[in-house]
């Protein structure tokens, strides 16, 4: 089976899961922690080289503060859990804003944990405009191949092209997830909510990806 080098994860449906369980909306975020680590271990075993989790976006922080606090805390815990594994970890997001949690500042330079290995990126207080904005500051340096240069000047420059994006929770939209790196990504949607993660979700996504014809426009 052809395994994607880089998988993007959009772990959506936490609030809808909470409502389904009769809980208040913010309760679902912590239920996504175990699935996140489980998925990391499965990808490592399969030989995936890079994994990017969509933590939260600058747009998401417009939500009620009880929810904002809950997903921020869940992201902090998730990153701390991944830092106990063997991984090359990086948190990417707008650190100039008060919505970026101070606890995650030490992770904003890529660092090897344990024996290192798979690159794991975690988007925290990420914004697509923020990501592209840096292009504007580097006009004089952008020469030669436009394509390579633009990728180099993204704020997310250390995140590679994504081969497969898996979104939980049934929505068929990218919601600002790495617009440049996802140009040619294959997009697989799981209807179940993220806290209801099952290993079959990943297996099904990979079987589907194995059948896709990758042309990159050629």
List interacting residues with a second copy (CB under 8 A).
Answer: 57, 59-60, 62-63, 128-130, 132-133, 135-139, 142, 146-147, 150, 153, 171-176, 179-180, 182-188, 212-213, 216-218
Helices (H), the chain: 14-20, 33-46, 65-82, 128-133, 146-152, 199-210
Specify burial of residue 145 (Cβ count, 10 A radius: 0-12, 13-18, 19+): exposed
CB of 173 to a second copy, least distance (A): 5
163 an active-site residue?
no
- Active-site annotation holder among 60, 94, 121, 125: 60
CB of 189 to a second copy, least distance (A): 8
What single-letter DSSP state applies at residue 127? -
CB of 21 to a second copy, least distance (A): 19
Name beta bridge partners: 9: 53, 166
CB of 37 to a second copy, least distance (A): 25
Q: Residue 114 region, left (φ>0) first, then alpha (ψ -120 to 50), else beta?
A: left
**Cβ distance to a second copy smaller for residue 47 or 170:** 170
158 an active-site residue?
no
Query: Using CA atoms, how far apart are residues 77 and 197, in angstroms rounded to an integer?
Result: 18
**Cβ distance to a second copy smaller for residue 24 or 148:** 148
**Cβ distance to a second copy smaller for residue 8 or 87:** 8
Q: Strand order in 111-113's β-sheet?
A: 111-113, 87-92, 119-126, 50-57, 6-10, 164-168, 186-190
**Cβ distance to a second copy smaller for residue 18 or 182:** 182
Cβ-contact 168, 10 below 8 angstroms: yes
Catalytic residues: 12, 60
């Amino acid at each position: 089976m052809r395994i994607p080098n880089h998988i993007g994860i959009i772990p959506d449906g936490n609030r809808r899961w909470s409502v389904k369980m009769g809980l208040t909306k913010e309760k679902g975020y912590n239920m996504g922690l175990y699935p996140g680590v489980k998925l990391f271990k499965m990808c490592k075993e399969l030989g995936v080289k890079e994994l990017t989790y969509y933590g939260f976006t600058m747009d998401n922080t417009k939500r009620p503060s009880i929810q904002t606090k809950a997903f921020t805390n869940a992201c902090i815990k998730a990153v701390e859990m991944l830092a106990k594994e063997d991984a090359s970890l990086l948190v990417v997001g707008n650190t100039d804003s008060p919505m970026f949690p101070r606890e995650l500042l030490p992770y904003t330079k890529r660092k090897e944990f344990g024996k290192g290995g798979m690159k794991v990126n975690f988007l925290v207080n990420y914004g697509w405009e923020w990501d592209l904005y840096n292009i504007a500051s580097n006009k004089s340096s952008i020469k030669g191949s436009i394509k390579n240069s633009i990728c180099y000047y993204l704020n997310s420059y250390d995140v590679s092209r994504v081969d497969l994006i898996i979104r939980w929770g049934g929505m068929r939209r990218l919601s600002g997830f790495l617009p440049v790196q996802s140009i040619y990504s294959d997009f697989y949607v799981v209807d179940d909510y993220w806290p209801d993660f099952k290993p079959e979700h990943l297996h099904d996504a990979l079987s589907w990806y194995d059948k896709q014809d990758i042309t990159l426009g050629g």
